[in-house]
Structure 1
Amino acid sequence: MSIKIYLPFNYYYLKKPTNLYGQVQINEDNVVAYYVLEASVLEFRDKAIDHASSDMRFLGSILNVDFNADQIQYLKFNMRLCFTYNSSQANITLVYTGITPEYLKHIKLILYEKPMLRNLFVGGESVNNRPIEHNDNDSSDCDFLELSRLTQPTEEALRNPKNSTKNSVLYMLTLIADFPITVFKYVVENVFVNSIMVHTSIYKHFKEWQTTCDGRSRPANIALDRILGMILMLILFSLATQPGDFLIQISHYVIDELYSLLKVLEGSPIGLKLNIHLNNFFLDCFKYHIELWSTFLDFIEPLVRQVFLAIGVFGCLGLTFQIALLVDLISIIGLHSHCFYIYTKVLYNVERKGLSVLWQVVRGNRYNILKGRTESHNYMNRQLYLATIFFSAILFLFPTTLVYYIVFAALKALTFATLSMFEFFRRKLLNLPIEGCVKRLLKGCNDIDCLQIKDVLPHETDFLMHKHQKIDVTVYKITAL
């Protein structure tokens, strides 16, 4: 068994009678950890002292060396720790611990600074928002995490009358900020609307955003998200005179580019000799599809012109909601190119499978389903004749289908890459350790990996007398790299 005493750095040089309050924990490896958190003016009573508040326990005191208390007096005042000071020594000295086993040879007195521990982060995440995982951390890290949690401001301090006005203003601002998301949540959870939006990017983002918001692990990200959304909303409403026209121009630009692409495929792209009849069939089908889509866009043009108004209004919810809505709009604009990819993919797979099967027939083989292997088979002449004809026809048509499949697969990959970039930025905006970075810049926040323990050399070697035995007391200090 060993003893660790975590003491605020300024208390180590305190020279006045003081009561100490905090917590005591006994870890699984039989390490007794005393966490000294607060201090108050010494008030001895005839009976034992229980606690200073509902959150902390009375641990002991800092007394003048002339106190000369014995074991009975320490027990009388329910002390677990006792330090003494004198005029000739700069620091206090440990003279009593409530748990002192016979085989104890060493005590660690670890000094810390509250601002450093309060702003402790683990992997860019605040300690308050992260549960302790004893299996993933060593004992010292667990002590630091627990100490950081214990040094956080209590609810009583947060309910201080001095902060009541500030808390009231923040509460009103929070209600105003949460009103748009409350309305959106009510609309989305409607049965009819939910059945339509369940597969959209904005609905999926709403679920992710709600999980992040309910977990209260990224308040700075949520605040930044809303601020950026409001800024973009003001830009759209003030600087852009007709933002809806921009979306119409993009839609027609995509249509014109598809026409240009089909015009290139109409001849001999990069010197390839395509099948004339199949190529003309593809061109007629795809051009008709584009004309149909162009007519549909002209029909819904008044509605499309108001889409940017919706993007601007969604700024009240946050920039990530605007990005999610933009992803859905890009998917709608590129719907016809996605259809072309599906058509060519199906035809490509059919021809590839047909060539694979007919090649086995031409070679005089077949696949035995029962035995799971390819074996020889005697086909009739008419079967070989038909197989050869179909194989030759598909073989000469396959290059044309392959060219169209590659072109529209590349177009699909480009669209997917664009949407993935927006999705990546949207998710990163909610998961970046913004709070940790801000606190590092403003309050000197420290990551747990940057903490180290250094020796503090006192003027004289400290030790604790217990039953005429000397127990060494080594003093350390938690510092940051």
Structure 2
Amino acid sequence: MSIKIYLPTSFYYLKKPTNLYGQVQINEDNVVAYYIVEAADLEFRDKTINHESSNMRFLGSILNDDFSADQNQYLKFNMRLCFTYNSSQSNISLVYIGITPEYLKHIKLILYEKQMMRNLFVSGKSVKHLPIEYDNNDSNDCDFLELSRLTQSPVETQNNPKTNTKKSLLYVLNIIADSPITMFKYIAENIFVNSIMVHTTIYKHFKEWQLTCDKRSCLANIALDRILGIILMLILLSLAAQPGDFLIQISHYVIDELYILLKVLEGSPIGLKLNIHLNNFFLDCFKYHIELWSTFLDFIEPLVRQVFLAIGAFGCLGLTFQMALLVDLISIIGLHSHCFYIYTKVLYNVERKGLSVLWQVVRGNRYNILKGRTESHNYMNRQLYLATIFFSAILFLFPTTLVYYIVFAALKALTFATLSIFEFCRRKILYLPIESCLKRLLKGCHDIDCLQIKDFSSHEKAFLIHKQQKINVTVYKITTL
């Protein structure tokens, strides 16, 4: 059996009669851990000493070296630990432990800072938010977690009038702050509205945001999201002049750029000789598509001008909701370019598959489905003739189709990259460890992986004499990397 005593560093140099309070825990590896957390002025009574201010247990005392006590006196006062001090030493010394079996050869006295353990983080979360059954294979980590829980500030009494007033005020403010999201939730879950917006980015984000709120694990992220959203809302609604015109200008700018792109493809782009007839067919088809889209934008222009007002109003919900709505707007603005990509992709896949099949026919081969292999086959002359004609036609048309496919695939990739950037920012705002970073900067919080136990330098080797036996007492201190 071994014993570990966790003692605050300030208590190690305490030189006045003091009672020590904390908890005792026996680990699975038969190690007894004493967690000393609190101290109070020394009071000897005829009965067992108890701590009435919290759930801490009385563990022992710090006494003057002149105090002469024997085993019976320690048991009378129900002491598990006893330290003494004198004028010649700067620190206290351990003179008695309640559990001293004959085979005990070593005792670890571990010093710690209460503020450091109180502000401990595990995997980006405060120890207060971790479940009690949180397990870790390292016994030191388990001791650190238990010590951090014990050193947390005591909870205020429920009957305190100031506490009740503060809770009531926070409850009212919480209802006011949650009213926009409650209204949006009621609208989004409506059967008719839900069938329309179930596939939109803003609805998917609403579900993710609601799940984050239910876990109550990223309150700082949600608060920052709301603050940034309100700031952007004020900018859009008050500082920007006619923000709806900006969206109209972007839409027409995209249309003009597509016209310029088609004009470049009309000739010989980068020296490529395209098929004239197929090229003209593509240009007529895409230009007609763009004209339809331009006419549609002109038709819904009064409605589009009010969209930025909707983006601003979504600032009550948060900046991430504005980003999600902006992603949907970009998808709508680039809908015609997405259609161009689908058209060229389908035609490209058809021609590529046709060339692959006709190439086997021209070579006199065919694919045997039953045997799962390519084997030779005797085709009739008319079959070879038709195959050669179609193969040649598709082969000469394929470069033109390939050029259009590459151009619109690149345009699609650019749009997807833009949307991915907004998606990345939106998710990071919700899941960045903002609370832990702020606490580490303001309060000096530390992650549990940064803690280490180092030997504490001492001029003399400490011993505890029990029944004429010397038990080593090694002093350590918990520090950070």
The residue that corresponds to 1:175 in the other structure is 175
The residue that corresponds to 1:23 in the other structure is 23
Over 3 Å counting, the alpha-carbon distance change for 1:244 and 1:96 in structure 2 is same
CA displacement at 1:241 relative to structure 2: 1.9
The residue that corresponds to 2:105 in the other structure is 105
Cα deviations by residue, 1:408-442 (Å, 9 ceiling, x for unpaired): 00000000000111111111122222223322332
The residue that corresponds to 2:185 in the other structure is 185
Q: Tell whether 2:387 aligns with 1:387.
A: yes
| Other structure's SS at 1:427 match | helix
Q: Tell whether 2:316 aligns with 1:332.
A: no
Percent identical among aligned pairs is 85
Map 1:399-478 onto structure 2 (within 5 A): 399-458=399-458, 460-478=460-478
The residue that corresponds to 2:239 in the other structure is 239
Which letter maps to 2:32? V
CA distance in 2, matches of 1:471, 1:157: 44
Q: Tell whether 2:256 aligns with 1:256.
A: yes
CA displacement at 1:106 relative to structure 2: 1.3
Query: In 2, are the aligned partners of 1:23 and 1:56 still within 8 Å (CA)?
Result: yes
CA distance in 1, matches of 2:321, 2:36: 46
Q: Tell whether 2:306 aligns with 1:292.
A: no
CA displacement at 1:139 relative to structure 2: 2.6
Cα deviations by residue, 1:72-115 (Å, 9 ceiling, x for unpaired): 44444443322233344332222233333332211111111111
CA distance in 1, matches of 2:30, 2:223: 44
Map 1:209-248 onto structure 2 (within 5 A): 209-248=209-248
CA displacement at 1:191 relative to structure 2: 2.9
Cα deviations by residue, 1:321-351 (Å, 9 ceiling, x for unpaired): 1111111111111111111111111111111
The residue that corresponds to 1:343 in the other structure is 343
The residue that corresponds to 2:302 in the other structure is 302
| RMSD, aligned CA | 2.4
Query: In 2, are the aligned partners of 1:63 and 1:85 still within 8 Å (CA)?
Result: yes
Which letter maps to 1:350? V
Query: In 1, are the aligned partners of 2:314 and 2:322 still within 8 Å (CA)?
Result: yes
Which letter maps to 1:428? K
CA displacement at 1:49 relative to structure 2: 4.4
The residue that corresponds to 1:35 in the other structure is 35
TM-score of the two chains, using structure 2 as the length reference = 0.92
Over 3 Å counting, the alpha-carbon distance change for 1:54 and 1:360 in structure 2 is farther
CA displacement at 1:458 relative to structure 2: 4.0
Over 3 Å counting, the alpha-carbon distance change for 1:455 and 1:411 in structure 2 is same
| Other structure's SS at 1:258 match | helix
- Unmatched 5+ stretches in structure 2: none
CA displacement at 1:313 relative to structure 2: 1.1
The residue that corresponds to 1:360 in the other structure is 360
| Other structure's SS at 2:121 match | strand
Cα deviations by residue, 1:182-222 (Å, 9 ceiling, x for unpaired): 22223223333222222211122222222222223222222
Query: In 1, are the aligned partners of 2:156 and 2:163 still within 8 Å (CA)?
Result: no
CA distance in 2, matches of 1:159, 1:403: 76
CA distance in 1, matches of 2:157, 2:66: 35
Which letter maps to 1:22? G
Which letter maps to 1:217? S
Over 3 Å counting, the alpha-carbon distance change for 1:89 and 1:372 in structure 2 is same
Over 3 Å counting, the alpha-carbon distance change for 1:424 and 1:478 in structure 2 is same
Q: Tell whether 2:114 aligns with 1:126.
A: no
CA displacement at 1:57 relative to structure 2: 2.8
CA distance in 1, matches of 2:171, 2:319: 23
| Other structure's SS at 2:156 match | helix
CA displacement at 1:122 relative to structure 2: 3.7
CA distance in 2, matches of 1:159, 1:399: 81
More deviation in 146-155 or 240-249?
146-155
Q: Tell whether 2:114 aligns with 1:89.
A: no
CA distance in 2, matches of 1:254, 1:478: 61
Query: In 2, are the aligned partners of 1:4 and 1:32 still within 8 Å (CA)?
Result: yes
Query: In 1, are the aligned partners of 2:104 and 2:471 still within 8 Å (CA)?
Result: yes
Which letter maps to 1:243? P
Query: In 2, are the aligned partners of 1:52 and 1:58 still within 8 Å (CA)?
Result: no
Cα deviations by residue, 1:142-199 (Å, 9 ceiling, x for unpaired): 3223322322223237986665555554444333222222222232233332222222
The residue that corresponds to 1:274 in the other structure is 274
CA displacement at 1:457 relative to structure 2: 3.3
The residue that corresponds to 1:311 in the other structure is 311
Over 3 Å counting, the alpha-carbon distance change for 1:362 and 1:129 in structure 2 is farther
Over 3 Å counting, the alpha-carbon distance change for 1:392 and 1:52 in structure 2 is farther
Which letter maps to 2:472? D
| Other structure's SS at 1:474 match | strand
CA distance in 2, matches of 1:104, 1:380: 98
CA distance in 1, matches of 2:365, 2:291: 47
Over 3 Å counting, the alpha-carbon distance change for 1:276 and 1:162 in structure 2 is same
Over 3 Å counting, the alpha-carbon distance change for 1:334 and 1:130 in structure 2 is farther
Which letter maps to 1:314? F
More deviation in 217-226 or 414-423?
217-226
CA displacement at 1:56 relative to structure 2: 2.8
| Other structure's SS at 2:396 match | helix
TM-score of the two chains, using structure 1 as the length reference = 0.92
Over 3 Å counting, the alpha-carbon distance change for 1:45 and 1:185 in structure 2 is farther
Query: In 1, are the aligned partners of 2:6 and 2:109 still within 8 Å (CA)?
Result: yes
Cα deviations by residue, 1:286-344 (Å, 9 ceiling, x for unpaired): 12221222222222222211111111111111111111111111111111111111111
More deviation in 35-44 or 405-414?
35-44
Cα deviations by residue, 1:438-479 (Å, 9 ceiling, x for unpaired): 223322222334333333334543222233211111112222
The residue that corresponds to 1:197 in the other structure is 197
Which letter maps to 2:464? L
More deviation in 263-272 or 72-81?
72-81
- Unmatched 5+ stretches in structure 1: none
How many residue pairs end up in the alignment? 480
Cα deviations by residue, 1:104-145 (Å, 9 ceiling, x for unpaired): 21111111111112222345443334557645x533233223
Query: In 2, are the aligned partners of 1:129 and 1:216 still within 8 Å (CA)?
Result: no
CA displacement at 1:11 relative to structure 2: 1.5
